Structure 1
Amino acid sequence: MVGAMPVNLIPKFCNGTMDSHNGTEDSEIQVHIGSRVKCNDDFGTVKYIGEVHGYKGIWYGVEWDDPARGKHDGSVDDVQYFKASKPGAGSFIRPNKISPLKTCAEAIRKYYGDREVSHKHSYTNKTNFLNIFLNFIWIQLSQYDEVTRKIVDVNITNFDRLLEVCVHDQNISKAGEVASLCPNVRSLDVSRNLFCNWREVIQLSAQLPDLRELDVNKNRMAIDMPEETLAQLSINFANLEKLNISVCDYEWADILALSHLWPKLNEMIAAYNRIKTIIPPTVTLRTLTVLKLDGNPLASWYEVMNLGTMKNLKVLSLNDCQITEIRFNDNPDDKVDLFEKLEVLFLNRNRINDVSIVIGTFLIGVAM
């Protein structure tokens, strides 16, 4: 992409001394320390690759997102191979037990290509039926099979017509070559996949210059670049307006660091992360009008007040955040210069006993 920062300047995170290969028919993707993997319906992060004393062959030491899936903390027979961050969240599995990894390009070709092929089979079956039913006609209808095949082949290669792409839960860990496949995509859903850091997501966006909406929820991606580098890479998200970054196991500080990537963001969904405290954004998120933080353990309204300096914020969603009260200051008659443009506030399923206090607080406490 002209003007984009070369993605080879992005520091790598997933690197280990022992690599194991997990290939697909189109590419060979390495699994290494830090890689995200999936076994059945369980997601985890590879913490160790190598031999385990007393057991033959190579093993992956995995820390599972759900600790209930694990068996130990990374040790076997008093030997510590890795250290799980949560008690009992670790276990060892064989390399052939994990789901095959894919590139985003592979997933797009397979999913959208298969849809076209299914249309072809449906049409072909109908043609065969007509050929039998009308066998007294001299013209062989089977000739239409060839016509259909050509039409379908053209459709399969016309990925450049795709504007919205959803490859949710497809075991994607790499970007692949999407620029030559579907360069006109405006909305991309790669949620619940296996990206281990932001490098591959940046590579994806760098190949999609008109990307407006991005959904990366349920990906646990490490942040391994300084804010200065992230700011330089923001050119790869120059047109991004809406982002779903929910269920990524982030704190607010993580999101603030990443926000240097998104200079024109209008809407951000960061629900069900680990946000407990909030630092006022001063340099980034200036264009944000909609912010959804549902399901984060904020509890204290004083943390929420740190969002009040966002000059363009119009919609704030704080459902299921364990908030018990709303208070701007000790004197309810004093107005505060916060939430200047806020129009909509969602507070469903919190612990506020008196809703009238909420209404009164906003009528009196906020400068409008």
Structure 2
Amino acid sequence: MQSCLDIDNSGSKSGSDSVGFVMGQRVHLTGDTRRIGTVKYVGAVEWYEGNWVGVDWDNGDGKHDGSHNGVRYFEAQGPKTASFVRPHNLSSGVTLLKALEFRYHGESTKEEQDEMYVLSATNKKVSIELLGIDKIQNKLSRFEELTSVSLAYLGVSSAGPPGHINTTIPRLKELDLTGNLLFDWREIAAICKDLPALVTLNLSYNIMSHDISGMPLLNHIKVVVLNHTGICWKQVEMLKDSLPLVEELHLMGNKLRGITDIRLSENPIADPGKGGVPRFVFIARLAKVEILNGSQVSPRERKESEIRYVRLVMSKCHDNPEEIKKLHPRFAELKKFHGIENEKVANGATVPQKMSSSLISITLKCVAASIGEKAPLTKKLPATTTVAKLKILCESFFKIKSVKPKLFLQEEKLFWTSQGSPLPTLLDDDMTSLFDFGVGNGSTILVDEEC
């Protein structure tokens, strides 16, 4: 009797398999903690005896879409991401302490030991003895002294009995649970409540339930990593009441496209001086945002931000379409919507292949009312010149020491676009280079003054 339908046959058992799985539960294939999926069906499969579990695999390595022999049992995420598996070939995971025991008390397997060798001059294997490894293992075996633990991809699915975690690892501050079987927020709450010293929690690649009701107050957690957990903004809003002291929240790879109002004040991601990104990048990447940091996003600002964003991406990733697709999912959509072309440049100007290391010719036009009429100047500057540096140069060029310059980019037509843009773009980030703002040969920069 088959133990799997449409995946590798791995053993057999009678049709009396006990199921013990529920819809939405996270499981992994027995013996392979990285082959993780979500239970989408439990029950009989036509023409086959016994019980089966329909699993939608995270890595997409399946054979069908939830249907078999013309009968649909569930909807999978893709055409070949699902399989039917016998219950005994699936694991529902282990408690956190079981994984801890395995990770830090488990002995090396023969396979692992066999890999620890070098070849001698006569091509014979010589085993390696790692100096100090006994001391390291001895330290790691004293759980009560651990302050940082990584239990990535070990099949953790629950906290276990209340109080046991606290008595075992009471000093723990950092916990990495990447790629486990956690999906119920009640288990996350139980783990955090049992670890009063915990500050940092990484739950990446655990597909979490959308039901966050009943989460207790966890006012000792400061860093939470929720990358690729399948949550949406509604769940983030619910979490904020349970995690009032969070300083860092990582949400990469989640479904946050429906955000209309976002506030990022005093947040490093919104501070270009700390490696963050400027306002126009947020507007372009978040298609539905209407209010950013309390300020309304007008149709004009959205259009200018999206065009500017596309130009920025093209200048940074010109020859790497795969990188663009991965890091900038809206790029192709925006490029097509705004009619942006790859190489069309106004007035015969050219876009250097390596603009960041080239000199570019720009025209500086003073329009500040208090300064009076000044003749335009054409200068050749490194593309890496920052806005702050250009402001200092403008003070010298136009002899305006008493005026604080404010710069705008104006061109008859935008680089790489056939659509005109009569509105100048404010160069609003002093730390950003001309290259990153899309300034190229033939560009005109207006020099105004701060009000």
The TM-score, its normalising length taken from structure 2, stands at: 0.50
Cα 1:76–1:297 shift into 2, 3 Å: farther
Cα 1:302–1:108 shift into 2, 3 Å: same
1:265 corresponds, among 232, 246, 256, to 246
Cα 1:249–1:302 shift into 2, 3 Å: closer
Q: Deviations over 1:81-133 (max 9, x none)?
A: 3332444432201123234611111111221223799xxxxxxxxxxxxxxxx
1:51 corresponds, among 44, 57, 61, to 44
Which SS does the other structure have where 1:196 is aligned?
coil
Q: Determine if the alignment matches structure 1 residue 355 to structure 2 residue 340.
A: no
2:142 — aligned with what? 158
Cα 1:155–1:218 shift into 2, 3 Å: same
Partner Cα distance (2:21, 2:185) in 1: 17
Q: Determine if the alignment matches structure 1 residue 105 to structure 2 residue 105.
A: no
Tell whether the 8 Å contact from 1:167 to 1:191 is kept in structure 2 after alignment. Answer: yes
Partner Cα distance (1:189, 1:152) in 2: 20
1:35 corresponds, among 22, 25, 32, to 25
Amino acid at match of 1:278: I
Q: Determine if the alignment matches structure 1 residue 65 to structure 2 residue 52.
A: no
Cα 1:344–1:255 shift into 2, 3 Å: farther
Which SS does the other structure have where 1:179 is aligned?
helix
Which structure has the greater CA radius of gyration? 2
Shift of 1:265: 1.1
Q: Determine if the alignment matches structure 1 residue 203 to structure 2 residue 184.
A: no
Partner Cα distance (1:218, 1:156) in 2: 25
Tell whether the 8 Å contact from 1:35 to 1:196 is kept in structure 2 after alignment. Answer: yes
Shift of 1:247: 1.4
Partner Cα distance (1:335, 1:214) in 2: 38
Tell whether the 8 Å contact from 1:103 to 1:175 is kept in structure 2 after alignment. Answer: yes
Tell whether the 8 Å contact from 1:195 to 1:220 is kept in structure 2 after alignment. Answer: yes
2:224 corresponds, among 216, 238, 243, to 243
Number of residue pairs aligned between Structure 1 and Structure 2: 277
Tell whether the 8 Å contact from 2:26 to 2:39 is kept in structure 1 after alignment. Answer: yes
1:74 — aligned with what? 66
Which SS does the other structure have where 2:201 is aligned?
strand
Partner Cα distance (2:220, 2:269) in 1: 16
Which SS does the other structure have where 1:278 is aligned?
coil
2:158 corresponds, among 148, 161, 174, to 174
Which SS does the other structure have where 2:41 is aligned?
strand
Tell whether the 8 Å contact from 1:245 to 1:268 is kept in structure 2 after alignment. Answer: yes
- Runs of at least 5 residues in structure 2 that lack an aligned partner in the other structure: 1-16, 110-133, 296-312, 314-325, 335-407, 409-421, 440-446
Shift of 1:157: 7.0
> Residues 260-339 of structure 1: matches in 2 within 5 Å?
260-281=241-262, 289-290=268-269, 299-300=284-285, 306-309=291-294, 320-322=327-329
Tell whether the 8 Å contact from 1:214 to 1:242 is kept in structure 2 after alignment. Answer: yes
Tell whether the 8 Å contact from 2:26 to 2:92 is kept in structure 1 after alignment. Answer: no
2:83 — aligned with what? 91
1:213 corresponds, among 200, 205, 208, to 200
Which structure carries more relative contact order (alpha carbon 8 Å, separation 6+)? Answer: 1
Shift of 1:262: 1.7
Shift of 1:259: 3.0
Q: Deviations over 1:144-177 (max 9, x none)?
A: xxxxx9x999967731211111101101111123
Amino acid at match of 2:436: V
Partner Cα distance (1:344, 1:279) in 2: 28
Partner Cα distance (1:254, 1:86) in 2: 25
Partner Cα distance (1:297, 1:305) in 2: 11
1:133 — aligned with what? none
Q: Deviations over 1:322-352 (max 9, x none)?
A: 4659x9xx9658899xxxxx9999x9xxxxx
Cα 1:307–1:220 shift into 2, 3 Å: farther
Cα 1:252–1:83 shift into 2, 3 Å: same
Cα 1:101–1:52 shift into 2, 3 Å: same
C-alpha RMSD of the superposition: 4.7
Which SS does the other structure have where 1:355 is aligned?
coil
Partner Cα distance (1:106, 1:167) in 2: 10
Q: Deviations over 1:205-246 (max 9, x none)?
A: 0111121111110110112134xx34xx1x23x111112111
Shift of 1:60: 0.8
1:140 — aligned with what? none
Which SS does the other structure have where 1:217 is aligned?
coil
Amino acid at match of 1:75: S
Partner Cα distance (1:288, 1:185) in 2: 27
Q: Deviations over 1:34-77 (max 9, x none)?
A: 1111224432101122222322222111122233x222232333
What percent of counterpart residues are identical? 26
Between 1:299-308 and 1:30-39, the stretch displaced more is: 299-308
Shift of 1:268: 1.8
Partner Cα distance (2:268, 2:107) in 1: 37
